[in-house]
Structure 1
């Protein structure tokens, strides 16, 4: 059960990060460094989800 909860938490965080990246990219004068950092975190989450799902 804890494994499923962890996976769902990661998926939720990935989805939230995806929305945050999209919002930041649409914002005028968005900080490119901050967007890049958020994208890296999103990728890290996806990689962990993939690793746990395998």
Structure 2
């Protein structure tokens, strides 16, 4: 969906632990549901595309 609609390639997401105090970076997670306020790491064609 990220690539189809926004032309951005999602590489990884930040996954927070149960208590929310710890987190890890999950590279190319399969079947992960992305919750609100999840930080994502993307590749884009230009800096202008990243800013949107």
Q: TM-score range by the shorter chain?
A: under 0.3
Larger RCO: Structure 1 or Structure 2 (Cα < 8 Å, ≥ 6 residues apart)? 1
Higher strand share: 2
Structure richer in helix, relative to its length: 1
TM-score by length of 2: 0.24
Q: Which one has a bigger Cα radius of gyration?
A: 1
